[in-house]
């Protein structure tokens, strides 16, 4: 993955963590997308979940910042028409991330590895930034 623009799907928990802790590993994963070093793959289901979760009152995120982030995701990202899979998920809301990553050949970055099948392209934020060669101290 080093030094090339690769495709990535970010689970919503990664984006929430990135916004809550700007110095952490999820934030570094999001930074790769925002700096254009990775292409965020998404479908309409993912964008709807991002917006729905990020505007929840409990997080207190600035709605203008969330809107700007959503615009960036749409402008810089790659819209994918995901092929359905008949795989069973413990949490059906995880299906869209799996299907989008599988359909686009992307790496799926999630804080909930256990919710997904064991596959080399499904990684934690820490594994992802290590593979991308951007791991630094802290976080």
Residue-wise DSSP of the chain: -TTS-EEEEE-HHHHHHHHH-TTSHHHHHHHHHHTTSEEEEE-HHHHHHHHHHHT-TTT---HHHHHHHHHHHHHHSEE--PPP-----SSGGGHHHHHHHHHHTPEEE-S-GGGS---TTEE-HHHHHHHTT---S--
pLDDT digits (tens, 9 = 90+) for 14-72: 999 999 999 999 999 999 999 999 999 999 999 999 999 999 999 999 999 999 999 99
C-alpha 11/C-alpha 100 separation (Å) is 11
Report the predicted TM-score, pTM, of the whole model to 2 decimal places. 0.92
Q: What is the pLDDT of residue 4?
A: 54
pLDDT digits (tens, 9 = 90+) for 88-137: 998 999 999 999 999 999 999 999 999 999 999 999 999 999 998 876 54
Domains, the chain, in order of start with CATH, read 6-131 (3.40.50.1010)
């Amino acid at each position: 993955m080093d030094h090339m623009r690769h495709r990535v799907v970010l689970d919503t928990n990664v984006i929430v963590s990135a916004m809550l802790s700007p110095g952490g590993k999820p934030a570094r994963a999001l930074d790769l997308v925002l700096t254009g070093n990775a292409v965020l793959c998404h479908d309409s289901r993912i964008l709807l979940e991002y917006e729905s979760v990020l505007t929840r009152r409990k997080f207190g995120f600035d709605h203008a910042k969330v809107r700007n982030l959503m615009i960036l995701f749409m402008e810089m990202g790659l819209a994918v028409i995901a092929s359905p899979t008949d795989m069973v998920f413990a949490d059906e809301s995880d299906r869209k991330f799996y299907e989008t990553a599988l359909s686009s050949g992307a790496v799926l970055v999630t804080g909930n590895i256990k919710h997904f099948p064991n596959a080399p392209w499904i990684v934690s934020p820490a594994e992802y930034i290590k593979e991308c060669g951007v791991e630094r101290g802290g976080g």
